[in-house]
Amino acid sequence: MTLTNAASPYVKSEFTVFSMMSRMLLALLALLIIPVVNYGLRPLVVAGASMLTALICRILFCLVRRKSISISEISVLVTGLMVPMLLPLNTPLWLPCAASAFAVLVVREPFGGFGRNPFNPAAAGVAFASLCWPKQVFSYFDPAEQAAFPLFGAGSFSTAQSPAAVLKQGFKPDILPLNMLWGNFPGPLGSTAVLVIGACGVLLFLSRSAKPETTVCFLGTAALIAAMFPRILCSPLTSVKYELLSGSLFFVSVFMVTDPVTAPRTFSGRCLYGAFAGAAAMAFRWFGAYEQGACFALLIANAAAPLMDSAVFWFRGWEGKPS
């Protein structure tokens, strides 16, 4: 194995940070098209407020620490855009801003910024919001009813339980799995349009901006657990459909588990990492306090990622050998 000395950030890829993050940013922006068509400009306002908060927090942190500010470093915008994707559209405007501020000021910048953060900042921000304001984070409007969302303000809408919440209670959702592909059900802003998420994932994999083995192992492990231990009285295949299509599981598998900074460096390590994160996500669904636990599972997997790389090095006999 040959190691090349290079300056940080260490993203473990032959592509530049800007090219990878720009593709990720465009893919995330594509998820806003359907919400904007259905509900007006409110999704853009929520996403823009979160991204602006993340950018301002980074600038302030750099000014306090007297660090240089690079205009080409757009990963902070990706963090700011991921946060509202995992929150309801009807959430108060301050909530994604608070989550983005936590992600940047507590999880991202204190460790040195992009390339050095041991945990996924967006996952940490959403986990922070879930612990502090669970009622707002897991309260969704009913897309089957008429809803009005002004650019600013609370809006007028009817609330409904998400399929993930129904599964958490041990009941079968009243929506067919195939109908969930189009995203017309209660859930986070960017996590319900499964077909769009899948198309964006394919483009990211084909452009080599993300590693597909991590996503495949994540979803494969979650599907295996859902088939072997269904939470509702149904066939294994039906259980798999509901588990993979509900909540934020599919979104996390494409956009967050594949983070090149917090994932292992080796192919075997990434496969193990994806399987571990998928099993942890299902464990949180079974035993966690909230209907969605993928972000909490991802943070645990982030902490275990270096150990997985070390285990692969030891198994292959690389440990302790000169490079």
Share of the chain above pLDDT 90, in %: 60
Q: Which residue has the higher pLDDT, 320 or 208?
A: 208
- CATH code, domain carrying 226: 1.10.3430
Question: Is 155 inside a domain boundary?
Answer: yes
Instruction: Report phi then psi at 180, rounded to 5.
Output: -75, -15
Question: Other C-beta atoms within 10 Å of 85: how many?
Answer: 27
Question: Is 9 inside a domain boundary?
Answer: no
Query: What pLDDT is stored for residue 323 in this prediction?
Result: 47
- Amino acid type, 193: A
Question: Is 291 inside a domain boundary?
Answer: yes
The pLDDT tens digits of the residues spanning 38-94 come to 888 999 999 999 999 999 999 999 888 888 777 667 889 999 999 999 999 999 999
Question: Is 4 inside a domain boundary?
Answer: no
Residue 125 has pLDDT above 50, yes or no: yes
Weakest-pLDDT range from 88-102, 149-163, 264-278: 149-163
Question: Is 108 inside a domain boundary?
Answer: yes
End-to-end CA distance of the chain: 6
Q: 9: cis peptide before it, omega within 30°?
A: yes
If one counts the domains in the chain, the total is 1
Question: Is 322 inside a domain boundary?
Answer: no
Q: Which residue has the higher pLDDT, 87 or 157?
A: 87
Query: How far is residue 202 CA from its own chain's centroid?
Result: 16
Query: How far is residue 1 CA from its own chain's centroid?
Result: 32
Query: What pLDDT is stored for residue 7 in this prediction?
Result: 53
Question: Is 3 inside a domain boundary?
Answer: no
Mean pLDDT of 246-270: 92
For residues 1 and 239, what is the distance between their CA atoms, to the nearest angstrom? 43
- Tracing tokens 């302790």 back to the chain, one arrives at 320
For residues 164 and 86, what is the distance between their CA atoms, to the nearest angstrom? 13
Using alpha carbons only, give the angle 227, 186, 28 rounded to the nearest 5 degrees: 85
pLDDT band of 322, cuts 50, 70, 90: very low
For residues 106 and 109, what is the distance between their CA atoms, to the nearest angstrom? 7
Residue 287 has pLDDT above 80, yes or no: yes
pLDDT band of 13, cuts 50, 70, 90: very low
Residue 188 belongs to domain spanning: 17-316
Instruction: Report phi then psi at 90, rounded to 5.
Output: -80, 10
Q: How high does pLDDT run on average in the chain? A: 88
Question: Is 10 inside a domain boundary?
Answer: no
Q: Which residue has the higher pLDDT, 156 or 41?
A: 41
Weakest-pLDDT range from 34-48, 181-195, 293-307: 181-195
Residue 131 has pLDDT above 90, yes or no: yes
For residues 122 and 84, what is the distance between their CA atoms, to the nearest angstrom? 9
3-state secondary structure string across the chain: CCCCCCCCCCCCCCCCHHHHHHHHHHHHHHCCHHHHHHHCCHHHHHHHHHHHHHHHHHHHHHHHHCCCCCCCCCHHHHHHHHHHHCCCCCCCCHHHHHHHHHHHHHHHHHHCCCCCCCCCHHHHHHHHHHHHCHHHHCCEECCCCCCECCCCCCCECCEECCHHHHHHCCCCCCCCHHHHHHCCCCCCCCCCCHHHHHHHHHHHHHCCCCCHHHHHHHHHHHHHHHHHCCCCCCCHHHHHHHHHHCCCHHHHHHHCCCCCCCCCCCHHHHHHHHHHHHHHHHHHHHHCCCCCCHHHHHHHHHHHHHHHHHHHHHHHCCCCCCC
Mean pLDDT of 259-286: 93
Question: Other C-beta atoms within 10 Å of 147: how many?
Answer: 17
Q: Which residue has the higher pLDDT, 137 or 156?
A: 137
Query: What pLDDT is stored for residue 112 in this prediction?
Result: 82
Whole-prediction pTM: 0.88
pLDDT band of 159, cuts 50, 70, 90: confident
Query: What pLDDT is stored for residue 134 in this prediction?
Result: 94
- The residues pairing with 109 across neighbouring beta strands, listed in sequence order, are none
Q: Which residue has the higher pLDDT, 5 or 123?
A: 123
Q: Which residue has the higher pLDDT, 219 or 311?
A: 219
For residues 46 and 212, what is the distance between their CA atoms, to the nearest angstrom? 29
